[in-house]
A = this chain, B = another copy of it.
């Protein structure tokens, strides 16, 4: 018997039929003797629907006051979900009670629409668990010091579930979603992609930051900080699958180095095709130039991803960075009409048709030559590398978008990712 946290995504909660299946699955775990805390998302589409109404009524630029109201509105989707799931659990014959974020309470800062969890009081939840109840808690939301409702931003329910698991020292946090685990890469691009039985927390962090949408990145950070054993698994298996089989399915995000030591040097290939590249050519290489360029970009609320500044010659340097493709036109406009005149840059170049491909693996820490193997593989396929960045467990390249699938497949093969690992199912 253990304390287990289950989290179910919006698709898993998408209809009364699916909610009933979630209830049956949770009931199975409860009947096996576990203390159960469940964090369901809003029914899929619901939050978008009501925020759409909000946008119609307030089309202007968001303020702190309007963000506060958006959180008031958006938090209701999860509130409906917890009530419905508690009822479905009661219909299964279990005692169940639901709580909103403010009832627990889940305390956050006051950054409406993107609040951060500061503390979780588990007294109330523990009392209910001790009394044999299943406790259903809203994800995605909390309450600030002044009693205002806050939300954590998109995907925030993952973070809520992990934070609750951390606060309650749960044995494991199971994230039920519409995929059955974390893959070496996207199976839609590489059919031979293999589900990982385990992945290290650091690798998962890189995969999440690189656009693998399995888990919200902040939930992974949280899991890492508090060492919450986290498992990603499918909510679309039969609810009455054997519980021991279910407990071993999916992908476990782990903190034990030795588990990873047995694994391949590279665990996965991530990619992101929503990027665009811009270069400011021939800017004077003097202190403050990076800020002069990127400060303007940040002020325009444009997120920058990869940033590269080459060594200078003749006192001039080239400064390149990537942005989300949706921000490309706005970025180019800003650079040409504002940044270039102000900095004395010679010209501004751009390319909206690029993508980023990354290899991720904790083994890269202790193995040399991993990056060069990546570059050789791409070179053998005739793929030109435009930009390179590296971190301790990741190497990313920016390439022409049209080579993306080819690059991912070649790298997946080069790093032996399609071979079933020794312990794989």
Contact = CB atoms under 8 A, between A and B. Distances in A.
A287 B75 CA distance: 57
Contacts of A288: none
A68 interface: yes
Q: Which of A59, A68, A73 has the most CB of B within 10 A?
A: A73
Helix, strand, loop or mixed for chain A's interface?
helix
A84 B68 contact: no
Given A19-B57, A91-B57, A83 B65 contact: no
Interface stretch (A48-56, A156-164, A224-232, A252-260): A48-56
Interface in A46-101: 50, 53-54, 56-60, 63, 65-66, 68-70, 72-73, 75-76, 79-80, 82-84, 86-88, 90-91, 95-98, 100
A87 B67 CA distance: 9
A126 to B, nearest CB: 16
Given A65-B95, A91-B59, A147 B103 contact: yes
A239 to B, nearest CB: 15
Contacts of A95: 65
A69 B54 contact: no
Contact of A84 (B54, B63, B65, B88): B54
Given A72-B82, A76-B80, A102-B102, A58 B97 contact: no
A189 to B, nearest CB: 37
A296 to B, nearest CB: 28
Interface residues of A, number: 42
A16 interface: yes
Interface of A: 16, 19-20, 23, 50, 53-54, 56-60, 63, 65-66, 68-70, 72-73, 75-76, 79-80, 82-84, 86-88, 90-91, 95-98, 100, 102-103, 147-149
16 contacts: A16-B57, A23-B57, A54-B83, A57-B87, A57-B91, A59-B91, A65-B96, A65-B97, A69-B84, A70-B83, A72-B83, A72-B98, A72-B100, A76-B80, A79-B79, A103-B147
